[in-house]
């Protein structure tokens, strides 16, 4: 297990390095000049040269990339002399628009995205797995057909449409929920949950529909296996057969897609955060795109890649605990 984990960690480091290099190269090839954007419209050529020197943009792309990598592990200075700006470890660049290190911006927005992702994940797992298992155990019956029709219909609705309808129905018309905003969990857990419930529902409806269909198919395949018939022949209770033997076996493909979905959401749900006005990482990424703030875009891209590969590594390690057959 230790050797396996070591190999996977080396693979994670290689993937992150490749993503960093590719993204950095793409930004370098873009026609936009970040130094000109930071300098302003009335910038003189002399002032533009000074800004490029301070940003390190006057060097070859290879030197810029090595300086960026070095900043991630040891920090770096932008500019020289009394006007130099220090970016501490881990330095993911310095935002042109905010005038702050990208890492500080990410850590400030990350709690919002984590709260949004984890709350939505709990809802869609409960709804999706519940609907999928119910449909699988009652295959071909009216409740199975009803749940599958609902899941297909819900999955077909874009998240921005669902979000707008929820705002109109539950906030403006019924007034049963407050308009979403972010409150720290440590200050007021009730305010934290009630103000995030609407975006949780919007995301959970989309993901729960996909998980319901996937879990239904997995459970049907698992419940048709010979060991399920053996467990029933031994006289085990139906709940034990379904949960301990059927559901655990059918959870393997669910874990795979769950790792991808949760890893992506931890780095920000761009559409959901933008619609509900939540100051998360996704909204930061959207603003960075609109303002051509390349260090912010690169920092969010690396954060998203890290969460996705880390989530997949965790899922691989959980396979052995969910399905005992993997250990053999």
Which helix H or strand E contains 247, and what residues bound it? none
Query: In the chain, which residues have pLDDT < 50?
Result: none
Domains of the chain, CATH where assigned: 103-322 (1.10.3720.10)
Give the three-state DSSP class for 286: helix
For 260-279, the pLDDT digits (tens) are 888 888 877 888 898 898 99
Amino acid 63: pLDDT: 85
Amino acid 227: pLDDT: 84
Query: Which DSSP category does 98 fall into?
Result: T
Amino acid 31: pLDDT: 67
3-class SS string, 99-119: CCEHHHHHHHHHHHHHHHHHH
Task: Kindly provide the b/e burial profile for residues 107-144, where b requires at least 16 CB atoms within 10 angstroms of the residue's own CB.
Answer: eebbbbbbbbbebbbebbbebbbebbbbbbbeeeeeeb
For 23-51, the pLDDT digits (tens) are 888 777 776 667 776 676 777 787 778 77
Query: Which DSSP category does 211 fall into?
Result: H
CA 21, 23, 24, 30 torsion: positive or negative?
A: positive
Amino acid 123: pLDDT: 93
Amino acid 177: pLDDT: 87
CA 188, 193, 195, 196 torsion: positive or negative?
A: positive
Amino acid 118: pLDDT: 92
Which helix H or strand E contains 31, and what residues bound it? none
Amino acid 37: pLDDT: 67
């Amino acid at each position: 297990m230790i050797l396996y984990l070591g190999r996977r960690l080396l693979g994670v480091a290689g993937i992150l390095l490749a993503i960093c290099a590719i993204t950095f190269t793409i930004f370098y090839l873009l026609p936009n000049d970040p130094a000109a954007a930071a300098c302003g419209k009335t910038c003189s050529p002399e002032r533009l040269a000074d800004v490029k020197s301070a940003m390190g943009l006057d060097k070859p792309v290879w030197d810029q990339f090595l300086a960026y990598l070095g900043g991630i592990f040891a920090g770096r200075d932008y500019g020289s002399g009394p006007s130099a700006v220090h970016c501490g470890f881990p330095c993911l660049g310095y935002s042109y628009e905010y005038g702050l290190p990208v890492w500080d911006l990410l850590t400030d927005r990350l709690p919002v995205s984590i709260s949004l992702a984890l709350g939505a994940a709990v809802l869609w797992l409960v709804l999706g797995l519940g609907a999928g298992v119910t449909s699988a155990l009652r295959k071909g019956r009216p409740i199975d057909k009803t749940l599958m029709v609902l899941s297909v219909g819900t999955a077909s609705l874009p998240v921005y449409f669902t979000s707008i309808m929820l705002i109109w129905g539950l906030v403006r018309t019924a007034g049963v929920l407050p308009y979403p905003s972010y409150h720290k969990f440590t200050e007021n857990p009730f305010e934290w949950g009630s103000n995030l419930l609407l975006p949780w529902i919007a995301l959970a409806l989309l993901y729960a529909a996909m998980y319901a269909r996937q879990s239904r198919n997995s459970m049907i395949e698992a419940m048709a296996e010979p060991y399920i018939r053996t467990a029933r022949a031994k006289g085990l209770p139906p709940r034990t057969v379904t949960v301990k033997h059927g559901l655990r076996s059918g959870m393997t493909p669910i874990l795979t897609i769950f790792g991808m979905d949760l890893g992506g959401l931890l780095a920000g749900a761009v559409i959901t955060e933008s619609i509900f006005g939540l100051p998360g990482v996704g909204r930061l990424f959207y603003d960075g795109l609109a303002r051509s703030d390349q260090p912010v875009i690169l920092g969010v891209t690396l954060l998203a890649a890290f969460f996705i590969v880390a989530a997949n590594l965790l899922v691989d390690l959980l396979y052995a605990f969910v399905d005992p057959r993997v250990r053999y």
